[in-house]
């Protein structure tokens, strides 16, 4: 495979040129081509090794049609698409269509949907596209996603969308390392803080003493250290090894999205990273969020949003002046960023703003009850903590979610080596922008802002509920659900036709983006009449979150944390019967 | 010899089939790969009359729950080995932060050696103290308790100060091993390392070593030494 990557021109990346006429006039090609946007009903995708140079060092990527990201696939809602995927690797491979509702055998998860695509084999996927919006696809085999196997899916709607724009760009965020993913995982297993270079120092303690007084600083240290927890543990893998990419471009080469003053631009953000959450903003511009995970939401105007691994957000921006704007996506632990320019001319690039300081995790992120001042019984140790009551996360509407009662199906639970923490008092924190974004002076999107554009009033009420605890042992780098890792777990049984409420409780200090295959996750964000429809839901550290699933897809499905190095353990097979 | 070859073949076959299973379970990948880690925590020269060279390290091979550990520490001078303590233990994770270990230990000095049966508990105690407590019994009826604790304080992300403490107790005198009953020896150290990379860090430090009680009759030590060394792992 000698094709060069990064052949994407500026103009070629815009999707506006694609008209309905193109969709119809499309003639299928026998072989894959290396254009960055492929449109039509029939697609040829080739998985192969490709030499790349992303950091200044030569490396070998696994690619789709020789590109990172793989080609953007443009489909039409209502069409039946056929995708011929040929594996030229020496290992099994696969492609999963993330967020697409399709029959189980087409879902592309080795060991669940099919056996995977053997070396040299071609697998043909075919399914009817019954949705529209921004999605993505990626390998579901080993760590191939980390080494370049991901791309965008844009599905053109049948009906005109309820918003207008003149330009349309995919903004795919990702993380690249020259290290082999298996080597990264082995390092984490042996030294889980290997990549964390913003750990607490002795000096931090002294600044806290200055700031809060000795007694309080000491009490806090006593509590965290007593529990052997770090408040600086935001990402397992960081900019120490990662280069953050925007549409395959590093911050030096920059992705460029062209505009003319006065135009409205639709940006389709997709987080295709293996391990990185990004906080995204375009300094100087407000963004109007119009879709989340492909589905229309009530428009909300914001200045910044956090995008978890595998989530997508569509925003519309209207540049007010004829200058280059930075599309700035800093990683959650602030060790680096992806950068692009929204610019009137390809020669005019924006400068990156300064990265924000990382915020340490708080007691809230440990799942402690911040409304109860004496903490009696709220935590295992560190009794006698005197915390000043910070801005309460509790609001009345979340209370309502607490009191929604449905029959709960008990699931097996283990508390052993797998679990170092238990959220003693997990709360719905839908309006919490999350660690690093709290009180930063900007209008930051929260899940509480997300309301389905359309009414969900007539959706069936849940028949029953299951509670899943996200569990882990950061010291040993083990991840699990309900204290049981995938290899030791029985599949979850969902009943065909039921409406199921799923509540997550995060017993870890990390954000986990939970992805249910095959069925929508209708997230409770405070208004039952406008449940927002997602495929990937962030469960914040120490928090609780609930969504509803209409179980309308028979077969076996994957259900997992989308952080690549958590996935092997924090995974369940779902069987719908 | 023939037997050994067959065993090797069996192991290879087993490994092969494990890998084949791994390939079909790619959906989630292998969450718990076999791994090894060799860490030379201390490899140092003391600034004393003998220019003592000392080491302390460990090696493991295994998985999340089950591991096989080799521990070794000791010291040597230009005249040869002073003493060493070596252990081979099976280690099993029994609690989130703790492993229980069982195996054999082998102590050696310039003129004698002892083999022990051993059980130990190792892990991370509250407040981030890396801790290990080993109980050893030998055929002479001697019992030993060896305690180790270490703490890491980050001055910066790469400059790390490590205070440590080790104490040994025995139930019997053992003149040829130069150990006496009761509290036998204590060693406190303070090492400041600079991690050029995670895997490699030169350090400077100071160590204080003292023998107590009956042990002083065989070997009276009360010495403070500056030291220089490297810490590395792979």
**Residue range B157-208, pLDDT digits in tens:** 999 999 999 999 999 999 999 999 999 999 999 999 999 999 999 999 999 9
DSSP letter at B176 equals G
Residues listed for chain A: 577
The pLDDT of residue A18: 57
Looking at the DSSP bridge assignments, the partners of residue A150 are A138
Chain B CB contacts of A228 below 8 Å: 97, 124, 126-128
Task: Report the b/e string of A276-297 with b at 16+ CB within 10 A.
Answer: bbbbbbbebbebbbbbbbbbbb
CA–CA separation, A212 and A524 (whole Å): 37
Torsion of CA B22, B23, B25, B27, to 10 degrees: 130
Nearest-CA distance B147 → chain A (Å): 20
Which residues of B make CB contacts under 8 Å with A?
23-33, 35, 37, 64-65, 93-97, 124, 126-128, 153-157, 161, 198
> Do A200 and B154 count as a contact with CB atoms less than 8 A apart?
yes
pTM, 2 dp = 0.91
Residues in chain A with CB shorter than 8 Å from the CB of B95 are 416-417
HEC readout, A354-391? CCCCCCCCCCHHHCCCCCCCCCCCCCCCCCCCCCCCCC
CA distance A422 to chain B (A): 12
What per-residue confidence (pLDDT) applies to A17? 58
Structure tokens at A198: 């913003």
B18 pLDDT exceeds 70?
no
d(CA B136, CA A443): 62
DSSP assigned state of A232: T
| Inter-chain touch A182–B33, beta carbons under 8 Å | yes
CB B185 within 8 A of CB B168: yes
Nearest C-alpha neighbor of A184 from the set B29, B102, B127? B29
Chain A interface disruption, residue of B18, B24, B28, most A CBs within 10 A: B28
DSSP 3-state assignment of B22? helix
Question: What DSSP character marks residue A400?
Answer: H
A253 contacts A153 by C-beta, under 8 angstroms: no
- Strands A167-177, A265-271: parallel, antiparallel or unpaired by DSSP? parallel
Which of B20, B29, B66 should one mutate to test binding to chain A, selecting the residue with the greatest count of A CBs within 10 A? B29
Centre a 10 Å sphere on the Cβ of residue A83 and count the other Cβ atoms it contains. Answer: 22
Mutation target for A interface from B23, B25, B26: give the one with most A CBs within 10 A: B26
Under an 8 A CB cutoff, do A567 and B28 touch? yes
The minimal CB distance from B29 to the residues A203, A473, A567 is found for: A567
Instruction: Tell me how close the Cα of A381 comes to any Cα of chain B, in angstroms.
Output: 10
User: DSSP secondary-structure letter at B33?
Assistant: -
Contact A339, A254 (CB under 8 A): yes
Q: What pLDDT is stored for residue A55 in this prediction? A: 95
ipTM reported for the complex, 2 dp? 0.88
Taking CA–CA distances from B22, the nearest residue in chain A reads A142
DSSP characters over A297-358:
EEEEEESEEEE-TT-EEEEEE---SSS-EEEEEEETTSS-EEEEEEESSTT--PPPPPPPPP
Phi, psi of A205 (to 5 degrees): -65, -45
User: Three-state SS for B138?
Assistant: strand
> Tokens standing for B171?
């139930």
Return per-residue pLDDT of chain A as tens, 577 residues: 333 343 343 434 567 755 444 444 444 445 556 789 999 999 999 999 999 999 999 999 999 999 999 999 999 999 999 999 999 999 999 999 999 999 999 999 999 999 999 999 999 999 999 999 999 999 999 999 999 999 999 999 999 999 999 999 999 999 999 999 999 999 999 999 999 999 999 999 999 999 999 999 999 999 899 999 899 999 999 999 999 999 999 999 999 999 999 999 999 999 999 999 999 999 999 999 999 999 999 999 999 999 999 999 999 999 999 999 999 999 999 999 999 999 999 999 999 999 999 999 998 898 887 654 333 333 333 333 434 344 444 456 777 788 889 999 999 999 899 999 889 899 999 999 999 999 999 999 999 999 999 999 999 999 999 999 999 999 999 999 999 999 999 999 999 999 999 999 999 999 999 999 999 999 999 999 999 999 999 999 999 999 999 999 999 999 999 999 999 999 999 999 9
State the Cα–Cα distance between residues A170 and A272, nearest whole angstrom: 12
Mode of pairing for the β-strands spanning A42-53 and A80-87: parallel
Cα–Cα distances in Å, from B105 out to B87, B118, B183, B187?
A: 4, 6, 19, 20
CB contacts, 8 Å: A568 with chain B: 28-32
Phi-psi region of A348 (alpha: psi -120 to 50; beta: other; left: phi over 0): beta
**How does strand A478-481 pair with strand A492-494?**
unpaired
- pLDDT tens-digit series, residues B47-57: 999 999 999 99
Edge to edge, what strands does the sheet with A150-156 contain? A37-39, A70-76, A150-156, A133-138, A96-98
Strands (E) in B96-142, as ranges, are: 98-109, 113-125, 129-138
The backbone torsions φ and ψ at residue A568, rounded to the nearest 5 degrees and listed phi first, read -55, -35
Residue B177's contacts (CB-CB under 8 Å, 6 or more residues apart) are B107, B109, B112, B114
CA-to-CA distance for A244 and A354, rounded, in angstroms? Answer: 16
Residue A106's alpha-carbon distances to A98, A129, A389, B212, in angstroms, are: 11, 12, 51, 73
- Chain A residues with CB-CB distance to B25 below 8 A: 110-111
Residue A460: burial class (beta carbons within 10 Å; 0-12, 13-18, 19+): exposed
**Residue predicted with more confidence, A248 or B5:** A248
- pLDDT confidence of residue A387: 41
Give the N- to C-terminal CA distance of chain A in Å, as an integer.
44
Token pair 């049948």 in the structure block, residue: A158
- Rounded distance between C-alpha atoms, residue A256 and residue A171, angstroms: 10
Q: Identify the helix (H) or strand (E) that includes residue B84.
A: strand B80-95
- Of A286, A289, A272, nearest in space to A338 by CA: A272
Any bridge partners for residue B191, and if so which? B162, B205
Provide the 3-class DSSP secondary structure of residue A91: coil
B33 vs A contacts (CB less than 8 Å): 182, 185-186, 189
B128-151 per-position pLDDT tens digit: 999 999 999 999 999 999 999 999
Which helix (H) or strand (E) segment holds residue B215: the answer is helix B215-218
Q: CA B9 to CA B14: how far, in whole Å?
A: 8
Which residues in chain A have Cβ-Cβ distances shorter than 8 Å to B156?
A: 201
* For residue B20, pLDDT beyond 70: no
Question: In chain A, what residues touch B198 (CB-CB under 8 Å)?
Answer: 191, 194
Pairwise CA distance, residues B73 & B57, whole Å: 6
Residue of A nearest to B153 (CA): A202
A215 backbone dihedrals φ, ψ, rounded to 5° = -55, -45
- Sequence-distant (6+) residues with CB within 8 A of A467 are A408, A411, A503, A504, A505
Q: Which two tokens stand for residue B228?
A: 């220089």
φ, ψ of residue A20 in degrees (nearest 5):
-60, -30
State chain B's maximal CA–CA distance in angstroms: 65
CB contact under 8 A, A416 and B37: no
Q: 3-state class of B32 per DSSP?
A: coil
In this structure, what DSSP letter does residue A118 have? -
pLDDT digits (tens, 9 = 90+) for B60-104: 999 999 999 999 999 999 999 999 999 999 999 999 999 999 999
Integer Cα distance of A557 and A535 in angstroms? 13
Among A307, A338, A555, A518, which Cα is nearest to A433's? A307
The rounded distance, in Å, linking the Cα atoms of A181 and A275 is 11
Task: Report the percent of chain B where pLDDT is more than 70.
Answer: 88
Which pair of tokens denotes residue A126? 């075919």
């Amino acid at each position: 495979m000698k094709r060069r990557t990064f052949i994407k021109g500026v103009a070629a990346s815009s999707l506006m040129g694609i008209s309905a006429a193109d969709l119809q006039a499309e003639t299928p090609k026998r072989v894959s081509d290396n254009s960055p946007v492929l449109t039509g009903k029939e697609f040829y995708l080739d998985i192969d090794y490709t030499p790349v140079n992303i950091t200044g060092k030569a490396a070998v990527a696994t690619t789709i049609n020789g590109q990172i990201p793989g080609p953007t696939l443009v489909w039409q809602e209502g069409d039946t698409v056929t995708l011929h995927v040929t594996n030229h690797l020496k290992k099994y491979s696969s492609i999963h269509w993330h967020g697409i509702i399709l029959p189980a055998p087409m879902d592309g998860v080795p060991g669940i949907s099919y056996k995977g695509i053997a070396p040299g084999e071609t697998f043909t996927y075919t399914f009817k596209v019954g949705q529209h919006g921004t999605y993505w696809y990626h390998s579901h085999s080993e760590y191939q996603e980390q080494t370049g196997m991901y791309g965008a899916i844009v599905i053109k709607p049948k009906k005109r969308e309820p918003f207008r724009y003149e330009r349309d760009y995919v903004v795919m965020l990702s993380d690249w390392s020259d290290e082999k993913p298996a080597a990264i995982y082995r390092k984490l297993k042996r030294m889980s803080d290997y990549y964390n270079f913003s750990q607490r120092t002795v000096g931090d303690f002294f600044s806290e003493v200055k700031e809060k007084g000795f007694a309080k600083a000491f009490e806090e240290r006593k509590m965290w250290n007593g529990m052997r927890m770090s408040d600086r543990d935001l990402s397992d893998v960081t900019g120490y090894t990662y280069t953050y990419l925007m549409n395959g471009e590093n911050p030096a080469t920059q992705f460029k999205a062209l505009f003319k003053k006065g135009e409205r631009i639709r940006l389709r953000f997709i987080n295709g990273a293996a391990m990185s959450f990004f906080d995204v903003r375009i300094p100087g511009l407000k963004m109007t969020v119009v879709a989340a995970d492909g589905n229309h939401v009530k428009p909300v105007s914001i200045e910044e949003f956090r995008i978890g691994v595998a989530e997508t957000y569509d925003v519309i921006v209207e540049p007010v002046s004829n200058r280059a704007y930075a599309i700035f996506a800093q990683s959650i632990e602030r060790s680096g960023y992806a950068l692009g320019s929204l610019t009137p001319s390809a020669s005019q690039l924006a400068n990156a703003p300064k990265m924000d300081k990382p915020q340490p995790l708080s007691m809230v992120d440990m799942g402690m009850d911040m409304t109860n001042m004496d903490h009696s019984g709220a935590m295992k140790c560190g009794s006698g903590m005197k915390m000043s009551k910070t801005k309460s996360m509790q609001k009345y509407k979340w209370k309502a979610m607490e009191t929604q009662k449905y029959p709960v199906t008990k699931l097996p639970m283990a508390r052993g080596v797998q679990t170092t923490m238990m959220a003693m008092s997990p709360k719905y924190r839908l309006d919490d922008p999350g660690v690093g974004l709290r009180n930063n002076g900007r209008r930051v999107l929260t899940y509480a802002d997300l309301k389905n554009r359309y009414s969900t009033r007539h959706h069936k009420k849940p028949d029953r509920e299951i509670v899943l605890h996200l569990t882990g042992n950061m010291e040993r780098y083990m991840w699990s659900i309900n204290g049981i890792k995938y290899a030791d777990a029985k599949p979850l049984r969902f009943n065909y036709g039921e409406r199921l409420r799923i509540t997550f409780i995060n017993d870890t200090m990390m954000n986990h983006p939970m992805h249910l295959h095959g069925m929508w996750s209708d997230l409770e964000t405070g208004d039952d009449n406008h449940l927002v429809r997602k495929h990937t839901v962030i469960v914040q550290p120490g928090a609780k979150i609930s969504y509803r699933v209409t179980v309308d897809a028979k077969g076996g499905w994957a259900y997992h944390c989308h952080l690549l190095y958590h996935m092997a353990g924090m995974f369940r097979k779902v069987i719908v019967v | 010899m023939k037997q050994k070859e067959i065993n090797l073949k069996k192991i290879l076959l087993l490994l092969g089939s494990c890998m084949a299973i791994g390939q079909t379970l790619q959906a989630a990948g292998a969450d718990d790969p076999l791994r090894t880690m060799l860490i030379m925590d201390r490899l140092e020269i003391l600034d004393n009359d003998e220019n003592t060279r000392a080491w302390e390290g460990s090696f493991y091979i295994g998985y999340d729950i089950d591991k096989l550990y080799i521990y070794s520490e000791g010291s040597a001078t230009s005249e040869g080995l002073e003493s060493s303590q070596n252990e081979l233990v099976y280690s099993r994770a029994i609690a989130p932060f703790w492993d229980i270990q069982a195996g054999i230990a082998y102590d050696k000095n310039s003129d004698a050696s002892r083999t022990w049966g051993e059980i130990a508990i190792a892990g991370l105690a509250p407040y981030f103290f890396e801790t290990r407590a080993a109980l050893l019994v030998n055929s002479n009826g001697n019992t030993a308790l060896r305690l180790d604790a270490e703490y890491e304080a980050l001055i910066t992300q790469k400059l790390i100060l490590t205070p440590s403490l080790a104490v040994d107790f025995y139930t019997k005198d053992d003149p040829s091993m130069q150990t006496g009953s009761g509290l036998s020896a204590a060693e406190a150290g303070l090492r400041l390392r600079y991690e050029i990379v995670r895997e490699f860090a030169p350090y400077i430090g100071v160590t204080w070593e003292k023998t107590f009680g009956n042990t002083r009759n065989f070997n009276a030590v009360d010495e403070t030494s500056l030291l220089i060394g490297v810490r590395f792992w792979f």
